[in-house]
Each structure stands twice: as structure tokens, then as C-alpha cells.
Amino acid sequence: MTESHSARRGESFHKTPVFSKDCTVLISVKSKQDVTARRIIKAVRDVCGEDAILTCIPRNGDSYEVTLIDSDCATRLVESNLLFDDDPAFVRHISAKIKVVSFMHLSGLISDEEIERKLKQWRLEVLGPI
């Protein structure tokens, strides 16, 4: 049934949400035990509005994949400063063109000083800023 046909019959027309990579972000937190999906959903609603979130899926490690109603909401979330118990969350588009791979298996949420300490433990010399 087309939209115009539904409208002529007096029926309401509800657009089916479109799940797109452009509308999906990955939210990395310090600990999924402390930052539950419920807290992620509340934070996303606070930034993007009550009906903006379509899915919130726990992923491996300490991250959640969140699909939003449109790419503008996703961008707004990426540009926001999400904090959970004073710890920042790292939010990025899953369709980002730049990929960062941590050969050290470290979270993107730890400080440069912690990374430097880890390198020194491995007896590596830091040649420049992290």
C-alpha cells in the first residue's frame, strides 16, 4: 500500500525506521559493569531527544553500538561530551573513514600517561608525544 493510498483511506502512515551505518555510533565506556545499556539510552535521549534511539547493542569489550533515527542525531552524539561518573565516553561513527587499531589492546579512554607507563614497562622508549 502506498503512502498516498493510505492517506486517502484515512489511515495513519508510519515510516519504517531505516538502519544505516551513517546513523550508527559506537560508544566506548570505561566499564560496562558501571555504565549499563539503560544509562547509555538515557544519555543518548538527553542529547538527541526521546525518540532518537532505535537500538542499543552491547558489543565486545566495553562498548555499545547505538543506532539513531538519522545521521544528524549521530553527528550530534559524536560531537557531544558524554560523561559517566566523571569518566568520558568515546563516541565515534562506525562508518568512520579513519580506523585506529591498538596493537597494545588498550582502551581509547585511558590517559597518555597510562600509555607511556605501559610502554616503559615493556622497556620501549617514547620518541615523541602520544
Name beta bridge partners: 66: 25, 56
Phi, psi of 92 (to 5 degrees): -145, 155
- Model pTM score: 0.62
Span 55-86, pLDDT tens digits: 999 998 899 999 999 999 999 999 998 999 98
Span 10-63, pLDDT tens digits: 444 445 556 778 899 999 999 888 999 999 999 999 999 999 999 999 998 899
Predicted confidence band of residue 90 (pLDDT cuts 50, 70, 90): very high
Domains of the chain listed by start with CATH number: 21-97 (3.30.70.330)
DSSP per residue, 60-97: TTTEEEEEESSHHHHHHHHHS--EETTEEPEEEETT-S
What is the spatial distance between Cα 12 and Cα 21, in angstroms, rounded to a whole number?
Answer: 28
Fill in the DSSP letter of residue 21. G
